[in-house]
Amino acid sequence: MKYTIQIWLFTVISSPLLLAIILGLIINKSELNEILNSYEMIFLMIIFGLFLSIPAMMIFWLIQRRLNSDISIWKNKIILSLYSFLSVWLTFYIVDNGFVTRWSDQTVWVLIYSLTIVLGVWIFKMPTKEIIE
């Protein structure tokens, strides 16, 4: 469960921060001061992200528990990465299915959250199952 919580917190905290930087500085050409003054919005993004991602992270945890210790950590992480990437897209689709048909700032949101969760899968050490005889 620790692995899942690490990835969950990493994603819901770092994604809004990355999003604020990318959307603010790069896409919208905002000043750093304007981005720093939007801390309330970033805080709300973190809170909503925590709640909206609960179902996806519960499934992530179940998948992670069921993964076979006979296959390599790489293969386990690839499976978790694929699920994580798809679960972010599915969650955003459920919330607003219009982002798929148009390129918008929200598409950038999905890309950042997807890449952040996959990065988390690879950054954090996956627990190994001990064989009890």
CA-closest candidate to residue 59, choices 38, 99, 87: 87
In a domain, 131, yes or no: no
Asked whether the predicted pLDDT for residue 78 surpasses 80, the reply is yes
The answer to whether residue 56 is domain-embedded is yes
Q: Tell me how far apart the alpha carbons of residues 133 and 119 are, in angstroms, rounded to a whole number.
A: 35
User: Residue 68: inside a domain, yes or no?
Assistant: yes
Residues of the domain holding 37:
2-123
**Helix residue ranges per DSSP H, 1-133:** 2-21, 32-36, 39-52, 54-66, 73-95, 105-123
Do residues 81 and 118 lie in contact, with contact meaning Cβ atoms separated by under 8 Å? yes
Rounded to whole angstroms, the Cα distance separating 4 from 94 reads 22
30, 19 contact by CB (below 8 A): no
- Sign (positive or negative) of CA dihedral 43, 52, 113, 24: negative
Does 82 have pLDDT greater than 60? yes
Q: Is residue 72 very low, low, confident or very high in pLDDT (cuts 50, 70, 90)?
A: confident
Is 0.95 topped by the overall pTM?
no
Q: Is residue 52 part of a domain?
A: yes
- Give the pair of three-digit tokens for residue 112: 């950042």
Determine the Cα–Cα distance for residues 53 and 58; give it in Å rounded to an integer: 9
% of the chain at pLDDT higher than 90: 29
Note whether residue 55 is domain-resident.
yes
pLDDT digits (tens, 9 = 90+) for 35-55: 667 777 888 888 988 888 899
Residue 133 lies in a domain: no
Higher-confidence position of 42 and 132: 42
Whether the pLDDT of residue 90 is over 60: the answer is yes
Three-class DSSP category at 27? helix
- More confident site: 92 or 132: 92
What CA–CA distance (Å, rounded) separates 101 from 84? 21
Is residue 129 assigned to a domain?
A: no
Number of domains in the chain: 1
